[in-house]
Amino acid sequence: MVHKTKELLKTFNSEQKIIEYTRKEESKSLFELFFETIPDATMVISHNEFELFNCNHEFELLTGYSKTELLGTPLKEISLFKINNLEKYFSEVLKGSQKPQSVSLELQLLDGSKYYGLISSAIILIDNTKYILSIIKNNTEQKVLENKLRHSEEMHRLLADNASDVIWIMDLTGAFSYISPSVEKLRGFTVEEIMNQTQEELLCPSSRIYLEKGLEASIYAVQNNLPFIKFRGDMEQPCKDGSTVWTDLSVSGIFDKNHQFKGLLGVSRDISERRAMENEIRRLTEIDSLTQLYNRFKSDTVLKAEIERTQRSSSIFSIIMLDIDNFKKVNDAYGHTAGDEVLKGIARIIRSNIRKIDTAARWGGEEILIIIPETDILGAQNLSEKLLLKISEHSFPDIGHITASFGAAEYENGITEAVLVSRADKAMYEAKDAGKNCVRVYQDKENMS
């Protein structure tokens, strides 16, 4: 899978058309390549009716229907997905409250067999319309293994000692009674070393807190003779060489024939490949392929979050809108390839002269938006003048010097994202009218004395 992912990334890097989301035909090429590469069932659904917009061959095999039969069909009408309340899950994805990971599916296939999957989803933009991209990873083998382990301690030992997943048994105090030998391949520690580790050494801090909170309900259920509540989540674990590894952890209860609780059964699976694919999905949905700055979709999200943060903390922030001067003349005189190089060069200048907490995004065409937290209008003006100087001093091959016009605006409590951007845009056009290659800041003339 890692090899296939590297091949996919290599193809993405060499074929820029494939990852240009702002163009319809190139978006189609991306998905065609994406679907051909991913070995798991993959689908794209609309964000409003949750209708199937596209799917790959593995998805056809999973459902038992052809793409022609599936496209345009609401997900709830596909018999395979009538369970698990998937519409609620996708609604949470759209609201941004559902991370694209660790959501389990239990499906009934057409032949009557059960299929256990792990679905990961992310919002993508096609022709300025939101869709949901989902990858369903086959998890049936692990689930069957877990079921067998519950039935027999002897079978548990036999399978666990030879499984690639790490299987362990723990009591409610956190003491291990069994860890499968595969833990050494996963984390580099021997079974004996793991047995002697503290809770702080078993998991990275954020994952440890997540697990503790997740198991509270399970422990309460055991202590009060209630049905056991299973836990599942992604955990980051430290390795012996100083690195970390991400695992999909599922925890269930072990009960004897008298239904007496005997311990916690955990299964940890290495999900490094899956997380790499999820990160690539996120990268493709957030990054402008030409400039490698964030895209318009991502900047909208950051701008909204920054306004919410500023309102909560009563802090400040500003934005800068810049537009490359006479860019059409560059394209007309030197060609669009030369124009692309100018865009990439200016993007590099911006990235190297802003802070890590700042966000630079290609707003559209030759316009770039910069979001600068904890910065007032004077700070925005100073940064604009710095970038203006850096850009005007840079010499582009075959073209020479290029300039840009800058407009800056500070957030004012109560205004919307659209109003804030329009203010920076207005200031930028004032810079254009003033002769270009200069900076202007927004001033509310109606409220000026």
Helix (H, G, I), strand (E, B) or coil at 42: strand
In whole angstroms, how far apart are CA 251 and each of 150, 309, 326?
A: 12, 36, 61
- Other Cβ atoms within 10 Å of 132 Cβ, number: 21
Rounded to 5 degrees, what angle do the CA atoms 334, 338, 342 make? 125
Average pLDDT over residues 406-430: 95
Per-residue burial over 2-15, b if 16 or more Cβ lie within 10 Å, else e, is eeebeebeeebeee
Please state, in angstroms and rounded to a whole number, the distance separating the CA atoms of residues 301 and 384.
23
From residue 39, alpha-carbon distances to 62, 115, 136, 202, 371 in Å are 12, 16, 10, 32, 38
pLDDT at 356: 92
pLDDT for the residue 14: 42
Least confident of 81-85, 124-128, 184-188: 81-85
Complete edge-to-edge strand list for the sheet that includes strand 367-373:
359-364, 367-373, 317-324, 404-410, 439-441
Model pLDDT for residues 295-351, shown as the tens digit of each residue: 998 899 999 999 999 988 889 999 999 999 999 999 999 999 999 999 999 999 999
Residue with more model confidence, 283 or 216? 216
The pLDDT of residue 156 is above 90: no
Model confidence pLDDT, tens digit, residues 214-232: 888 888 888 888 888 888 8
In DSSP terms, 439 is beta-bridged to: 406
260-279 per-position pLDDT tens digit: 888 899 999 888 888 888 77
* CA dist., res. 88 & res. 93, Å (int): 9
Name residues whose C-beta falls within 8 Å of residue 59's C-beta, 6 or more positions apart in sequence.
Answer: 41, 42, 43, 70, 136
- HSE value, Cβ hemisphere, 13 Å, CA-based, for 167: 24
| pLDDT on residue 447 | 54
Residue pair 166/247 in contact (Cβ under 8 Å)? The answer is yes
Mean pLDDT of 284-305: 89
Residue 228's CB is within 10 A of a number of other CB atoms, namely 17
Indicate the pLDDT class of residue 446, thresholds 50, 70 and 90: low
On whether the CB atoms of residues 420 and 396 are closer than 8 A, the answer is no
Instruction: Quote the pLDDT of residue 135.
Output: 84
The overall average pLDDT reported for the chain is 83
Q: Is the pLDDT of residue 17 over 60?
A: no
Q: Kindly report the CA angle at 303 between 302 and 308, in degrees rounded to 5? A: 95
Q: Is the dihedral of CA 56, 62, 67, 73 positive or negative?
A: negative
Mean pLDDT of 387-412: 95
367 exposure class (CB count in 10 Å sphere: 0-12, 13-18, 19+): middle
Q: Which pLDDT tens digit goes with each residue over 75-125?
A: 878 766 655 567 777 777 777 655 544 577 777 777 777 888 888 888 888
- List pLDDT tens digits, range 194-203: 999 988 899 9
DSSP bridge partners of 404:
324
Q: Any idea which of 15-29, 279-293, 376-390 has the lowest mean pLDDT?
A: 15-29
- Tell me if residue 366 is catalytic: yes
Q: How many residues does the chain have?
A: 449
pLDDT at 6: 46
pLDDT at 11: 42
| Helical (H) or strand (E) element with 210 | helix 205-223
Task: Check residue 445 and give its pLDDT.
Answer: 59
Question: What was the pLDDT predicted at 364?
Answer: 86
Is residue 416 scored above 90 in pLDDT? yes
Percentage helix, strand, coil, to 5, in the chain? 45, 25, 30
Q: Model confidence at 1, in pLDDT bands (50, 70, 90)?
A: very low
- 202 vs 186: CA distance, rounded Å: 12
Nearest in space to 320 (alpha carbons), one of 295, 292, 350: 350
Question: Is the alpha carbon torsion for 17, 20, 22, 28 positive or negative?
Answer: positive
Of the residues 366, 374, 412, 430, which is catalytic?
Answer: 366
Burial (CB count <10 Å: 0-12, 13-18, 19+), residue 141: exposed
In this predicted structure, which of 86-90, 155-159, 400-404 has the lowest mean pLDDT? Answer: 155-159
Cα distances (Å, whole numbers) of residue 2 to 268, 412, 414: 19, 47, 47
Supply the pLDDT for residue 13: 45
Is residue 35 a contact partner of residue 55, using CB atoms and an 8 Å limit? Answer: yes
